[in-house]
Amino acid sequence: MTFSQIFLIYFATLAVFSGVDLLWVWAISKRLYRTYAEGLLKAKFNAIPAVVFYLLYTVGLMVFVIVPAFHNTSLGQAMGLGVLFGLFTFGTYALVNFSVIRDWSLLVVLVDLIEGMLITGIACTVAYYLSQIVT
């Protein structure tokens, strides 16, 4: 895989992951957090940490999932490791919150886990298909 191909796949993955995640946040998580964690929400959304998250998370997807799956020519690896990466990363966030934040809801934990697994799996699957097309 050339640098330009990696660059293209990175930005396509970034677009897919962030697009689907933002859709999920606005459609599902926003209501859930208003119901179960309203006192913790900021009055105004701060985009800079979100942008940094999406940029860094996509690097993680490339390093730990997409490039290895490309080298092994394995869609199953891309999908499976994508789902696991989502479980581990979103699970870390959700379970730490559940352990240290008073009144953090188990429902929020479960929705966050499903979100991370689903969206990361989708992004990695799309990125894998793209990697097969551009190479």
What pLDDT is stored for residue 132 in this prediction? 94
Using alpha carbons only, give the angle 113, 116, 119 rounded to the nearest 5 degrees: 140
Average pLDDT on 111-120 reads 96
pTM value?
A: 0.92
In terms of residue numbers, what domain contains 75? 3-134
pLDDT tens-digit map of 37-96: 888 888 888 999 999 999 999 999 999 999 999 999 999 999 999 999 999 999 999 999
User: How many domains does the chain contain in total?
Assistant: 1
- Longest CA–CA span in the chain (Å) reads 49
